[in-house]
């Protein structure tokens, strides 16, 4: 048939990848580059590494996974295009991704329309509230991080908090959530400063916080900004202790900030960073140790919680496909929603029709940097 030949030729010429038939096509759109690459890069690496591992072990239900990752650069419009491509062209049965909230929200209508299950790796509460039947997420929400931090502050008698936030999506989103839960948590925000994610010096903002009477400082941000904030905090010799967010939860942060400056910084994070300090017998210990060792051996880079989110999403999906015994998107969705007692890097996940986040506040540990190492705060 001439017409068919023509279309096939066109497809071949335009060099769009045509997936093989018998595999399970799983898609992902992540911010491998762009401002959120700090998050998206370990996510993509984790997915590639773990999918290879699963395939080497015989795949899922005897079928190989065909992983298709697109780099949306953190741009919502690009993510939307890749979402369409995953659905229409790659014919995936499930999608992982959306490194940050904007791209995630832009992609949701596509998957909702096509009825494809979607597990997001972004932080905001809006992704799962209100619950969309097709949308799940693996990371803790920003709101949980805020609550955990404020609880720790209050327990130490700090009720006046100075906030300093990155102006990127991550920082702004958490800034808004923290301000929202501050009153209920029993703290007052006495200073609210912002910096650009690439800024070289935050001493003006910190000087103002210093003068505001804040008893503790909370920095919501990711990437290199928090490292500069931490160094400036030490430079200005501010007495109020510094809390970071889960956005810097990797060993690399300590290197960037410098051991001396990072001393005493606290942050809420999953057990991944302190795998070895978990008590023996903790159900999470083997999971996080296994993932961390594999990741660090494979990439030569320090493990971060963001890669962990991708790890959790992939294995939740794997379990669901195995349970459903089918690669029908609807069946997979139902099985994901029934996920119970799944032990991931972020904690124990229990999804339900009303809860597509599945994590509780217990999943967070409060960590403190001591002598250049993460330690669990008792």
Partner 1 sequence: MSELLQFLFSGLTVGAVYALVALGFTIIYNASDVVNFAQGEFVMLGGMMTVFAYAAGLPLPLAALIAIVATAGVGVALNKLAIEPARGAPVVSLIIITIGASIFLRGVAQVLFGKQIHRFPSFSGDTPFRIGGATILPQSLWVIAGGLTVFVALYLFFTKTLTGKAVLATSNNRLAAQLVGINTNWVMTLSFALSAAIGALAGVLITPITNTSYDVGIALALKGFAAAMLGGMGNPKGALVGGLLLGVLEALTAGYLSSQYKDAAAFVIILLVLFIMPQGLFGIKQTERV
Partner 2 sequence: MRLSNKSATLLVLAALIALTPIFFPSSFYYRVGSLIFINGLAVTGMVILIGYAGQISLGHAGFAGIGAYSCALMPVHWGIPVLLAAVLGAIISALLAFLVGRPILRLKGYYLGVATLGFGILVYMALTNEAWLTGGPDGTQVPDSGLRDAAKAIGINLKNSEFWYWFCGVVLMIGAWLALNLYVSPTGRALRALHGSEIAARTVGVDVARYKLQAFVISAVYASAAGSLVALQNQFVTPDIAGYMHSIEWVTMTVLGGAGSVLGAIFGAGILTLLPQVLTMFAEYEQLLLGLIMMLVMIFMRDGLLPSVLRLIRGKDE
Residues that bind partner 1 (CB under 8 A): 32-34, 37-38, 41, 167, 193-196, 198-201, 203-205, 207-208, 211, 223-224, 227-228, 231, 234-237, 252, 255-256, 258, 260-261, 301
Binding mask 160-179 for partner 2 (x = CB under 8 A): -------xxx--xx--x---
Are 204 and 228 in contact by the 8 Å Cβ rule? The answer is no
Contact 303, 281 (CB under 8 A): no
Q: How far is the CB of 227 from partner 1 (least distance, A)?
A: 6
Q: How far apart are CA 258 and CA 298, in angstroms?
A: 25
Query: Of 55, 61, 64, 89, which lies in the binding site for partner 2, with binding defined by CB under 8 A?
Result: 89
Give the list of residues 6+ apart from residue 340 with CB closer than 8 angstroms, or none: 350, 351
Q: Which of 283, 218, 226, 269 is nearest to 375 (CA)?
A: 269
Packing angle, helices 284-299 and 37-56, rounded to 10: 100
Residue 75 touches which member of partner 1, partner 2, none, C-beta under 5-8 Å by kind: partner 2
**In Å, how far from its chain's centre is CA 202?**
25
Nearest-approach distance from CB 94 to partner 1, in angstroms:
26
Nearer to partner 2, 45 or 309 (CB): 45
Nearest one of 375, 347, 369 to 140, comparing CA atoms: 347
> Cβ of residue 18: shortest distance to partner 2, in angstroms?
8
User: Residue 8: which of partner 2, partner 1, none does it interact with, CB under 5 to 8 A by kind?
Assistant: partner 2
Q: 1 touches which of partner 1, partner 2, none (CB within 5 to 8 A by kind)?
A: none
Least Cα distance to 295 among 285, 312, 308 occurs for: 308
Centre a 10 Å sphere on the Cβ of residue 109 and count the other Cβ atoms it contains: 12
Residues in touch with partner 2 (CB under 8 A): 3, 6-8, 10-11, 14-17, 32-33, 69-71, 74-78, 80-81, 84-85, 87-89, 100-102, 105-106, 109, 113, 124, 126, 167-169, 172-173, 176, 194
């Amino acid at each position: 048939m001439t017409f068919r030949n023509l279309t096939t030729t066109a497809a071949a010429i335009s060099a769009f990848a045509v997936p093989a038939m018998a595999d399970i096509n799983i898609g992902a759109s992540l911010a491998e580059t762009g401002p959120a690459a700090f998050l998206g890069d370990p996510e993509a690496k984790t997915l590639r590494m773990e999918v290879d591992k699963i395939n080497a072990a015989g795949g899922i239900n005897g079928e190989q996974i065909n992983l298709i990752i697109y780099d949306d650069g953190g741009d919502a419009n690009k993510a939307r295009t890749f979402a369409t491509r995953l659905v229409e062209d790659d014919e995936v049965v499930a999608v992982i991704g959306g490194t940050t909230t904007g791209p995630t929200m832009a992609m949701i209508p596509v998957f909702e329309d096509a009825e494809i299950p979607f597990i997001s790796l972004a932080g905001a509460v809006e992704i799962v509230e209100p619950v969309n039947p097709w949308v799940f997420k693996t990371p803790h929400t920003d709101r949980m991080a805020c609550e955990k931090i404020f609880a720790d502050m209050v327990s130490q008698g700090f009720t006046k908090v100075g906030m300093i936030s990155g102006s990127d999506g991550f920082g702004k989103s958490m800034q808004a959530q923290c301000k929202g839960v501050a009153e209920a948590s029993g703290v007052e925000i006495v200073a609210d400063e912002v910096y650009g994610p690439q800024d070289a010096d935050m001493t003006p903002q910190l000087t103002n916080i210093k003068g505001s009477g804040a008893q503790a400082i909370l920095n919501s941000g990711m990437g290199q900004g928090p490292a500069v904030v931490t160094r400036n905090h030490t430079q200005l010799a501010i007495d109020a202790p510094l809390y970071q967010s889960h956005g810097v939860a990797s060993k690399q942060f300590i290197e960037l900030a410098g051991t001396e400056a990072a001393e005493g910084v606290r942050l809420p994070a999953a057990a991944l960073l302190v795998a070895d300090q978990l008590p023996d017998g903790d159900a999470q210990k083997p999971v996080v140790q296994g993932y961390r060792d594999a990741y660090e051996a494979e990439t030569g880079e320090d493990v971060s919680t963001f890669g962990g989110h991708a790890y959790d999403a992939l294995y939740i999906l794997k379990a669901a496909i195995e349970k459903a015994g089918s690669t029908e998107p609807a069946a997979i969705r139902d099985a994901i929603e029934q996920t119970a007692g799944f032990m991931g890097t972020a904690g124990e996940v229990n999804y339900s029709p009303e809860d597509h986040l599945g994590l509780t506040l217990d999943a967070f540990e409060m960590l403190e940097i001591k002598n250049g190492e993460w330690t669990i705060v008792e």
